[in-house]
Chains A and B, each alone.
Chain A
Amino acid sequence: MLEGEQKLVERAKEGESSAFGLLYDYYLPKIYRFVLIKVGQREEAEDITHLTFLKAWESIDRYSYRGYSFGSWLYRIARNVVVDHYRGAPIQISLEDANEPESDEPLPGHDLDTKVEYAKVMRALSKLGALEQDVIIMRFVDDLPVRDVAEAIGKSEGAVKLIQHRAMKKLKDYLK
């Protein structure tokens, strides 16, 4: 969680755009990569990320602190925007795309072997259900605590742990 986050949120609620700007700067990379991994296309990820923050800014009065980070609320908005945009369509990333991505946003790693490894993981990830993808990305990519993930997806912490365990088991099976 960003230090002094709740004060920034309150200032943003009062209409102070610079306060929301700080929240944007902190959460933009997280939300962007969450969306990019889900949709696989840079331009779509940018559009969805932009729409997510726009919705958050327009309706920030609806957010109230209940022990969860502001980021949880943003992830929830992002999930809804992605669902609205694709109606739950699964991630479509092929090995060929991963080896030579059309996106301007390259996968991490400098050598071909690393990129292939990433591509395999991404392909396995694409076989998971939308909820399992969300939990894996939030927990292992963005390193969110379980309770924030639970708030973002509207489930209990126990349910998150269960979904995570099941999703990781599936990934291992896909990557055998």
Chain B
Amino acid sequence: MEEREISGILSKLSEIEPSADYALRSRGAILAAPRLPRRYFGLAGIKRYIGEGVGFAISIGLASITIVLLLINVPKALSPMIGNRLPGSDTAALVNDVDAAVKDIDIHLQEAQLFDTAAQKAGSALKETANGRAPHINQSLIQKESDGVAPQVTNTEPVNIDNILNELAK
């Protein structure tokens, strides 16, 4: 058999084909199969894995910065909107309220000190009076002070109030 005949017979084998049923079943099964994860080799693989690592670090960094910025800026941005609804969130108003409360407390403390001092003085005076050891208290001095405090009545004539009222009634 010559080479040409052999190659002719071999080329006729190209008529062999798989059955349509097999082709359909095999095709469906293959295309339904999951793909393997994409792999990278050599320099491309190294670049990819380094890139993935750097990308992860950058992602974490950016996420952290974003969270910090949000925590700082969101309350500021929202305060004009919620300030009226939440008076407690207004720090300036809170400071003013606290200052006013402190002033009230100071005033009450001063009054309390004043009352305490007056009470102490009154107590010591009463004690001295009770013991008869009040040398500054004598009748002449009291009279003098009483004269100074009492209203000065210059008109010594008795005033007949009834007469005056009667005249007015007329």
State whether these chains interact: yes
* Minimum distance in angstroms from A128 CB to a CB of chain B: 12
* Minimum distance in angstroms from B36 CB to a CB of chain A: 5
Contact B35 A171 (CB under 8 A): no
B17 partner residues in chain A, CB cutoff 8 A: 29, 32-33
Q: Does chain B have a CB within 8 A of A53?
A: yes
* Minimum distance in angstroms from B96 CB to a CB of chain A: 65
Q: In chain B, what residue has the closest Cβ to A46?
A: B22
Number of A-B contacts (CB under 8 A): 102
Contact B29 A50 (CB under 8 A): yes
- How many angstroms between the C-alpha atoms of A58 and B30 in the bound complex? 9
B interface secondary structure, majority: helix
Contact A175 B1 (CB under 8 A): yes
Contact A57 B16 (CB under 8 A): no
Contact B35 A118 (CB under 8 A): no
Contact A121 B6 (CB under 8 A): yes
Contact A172 B26 (CB under 8 A): no
Q: Mark B5-47, 1 if CB is under 8 A from A, else 0.
A: 0110111111111110011001101110111101101000000
Q: Does chain A have a CB within 8 A of B145?
A: no
Contact B6 A28 (CB under 8 A): no
Query: Known: A24-B27, A168-B6. Contact between A59 and B18, CB under 8 A?
Result: no
Contact B9 A168 (CB under 8 A): no
- How many angstroms between the C-alpha atoms of A57 and B13 in the bound complex? 27
A interface list, Cβ under 8 A from B: 15, 17-18, 20-21, 24-25, 28-29, 32-33, 36-37, 46, 49-50, 53-54, 57-62, 104-105, 107-109, 117-118, 120-121, 136-137, 140-143, 168, 171-172, 175-176
